[in-house]
Amino acid sequence: MAPFGKIYSYPNNFRVQRAQAVAAINGLELNVPEFQIGVSNKDPEFLNKFPLGKVPAFEGSDGFCLAEGAAIAEYVAASGPKAAQLLGEDAKTKSKISEWVLFTETELAAHSLPWVYVFFKFADYEKTKDKCDTAALAFQRALGKIEATVKDGRKYILGGNELTLADVTVASILHFTSSFLLDAEMRKVVPATMEYLKGIETVPEFAQAFGELKTCEVRAK
């Protein structure tokens, strides 16, 4: 089977892993070539396709180019035999899945960013403490939405018996932040959310894309 396309990014980008998991569920081959931030994304050929130089960036085998992680994941989800399962078959289901994808980007990923900078040593915690602590409170508040949704023990975000793009998207940021922000204290407040995550971690395609879940006892400072 010919590759569906390739996705450019630095290693261990959860947005790339999300697309890889969705591709695997859909039976699509998605390649991730070697890529060096600060070099590869400044190459004129790359900038001609992706003017902002941002990653992840997707290039299909047919030459179709697409930026923004959420858009890439949605395109991959829509391009295989499991599209109806991943994206929903009716307007209400499609809209709820979009709600969860946007929620993840604006509430969870956005508020984890100050901690990403600290964790990868792009910023000093003591110099950005107020910003980090405010972001952590907002992140925990956002977790409350997930907790309220899965507190009945549901396996998937929308209920029912099938995983959707909403699950892959929500679980991807929970998996990513577990190593530096979603610490023991915060996990204690959202037990149903953590049980939900454990369930998604057993989905073979998700496990293959993301690897072993690594948790931290205290936030990275």
Instruction: Work out the average pLDDT over 121-132.
Output: 93
Q: pTM here? A: 0.95
> Is residue 92 located within the same domain as residue 73?
no
How many independent structural domains does the chain possess? 2
pLDDT number for residue 18: 98
| CATH code for the domain of 167 | 1.20.1050.10
> Is residue 64 located within the same domain as residue 33?
yes
> Is residue 107 located within the same domain as residue 40?
no
Question: In the predicted model, is pLDDT for residue 175 greater than 90?
Answer: yes
Percent of the residues in the chain that have a pLDDT greater than 90, as a whole number:
94
> Is residue 49 located within the same domain as residue 126?
no
Q: What are phi and psi of 220, to 5 degrees?
A: -70, 120
Instruction: For residue range 91-120, list pLDDT tens digits in order.
Output: 999 999 999 999 999 999 999 999 999 998
Percent of the residues in the chain that have a pLDDT greater than 70, as a whole number:
100
> Is residue 195 located within the same domain as residue 105?
yes
pLDDT number for residue 1: 60
Q: Which residue segment(s) compose the domain that 68 sits in? A: 5-84
The single-letter DSSP state of residue 54 is -
> Is residue 159 located within the same domain as residue 178?
yes
Residue type, 119: F
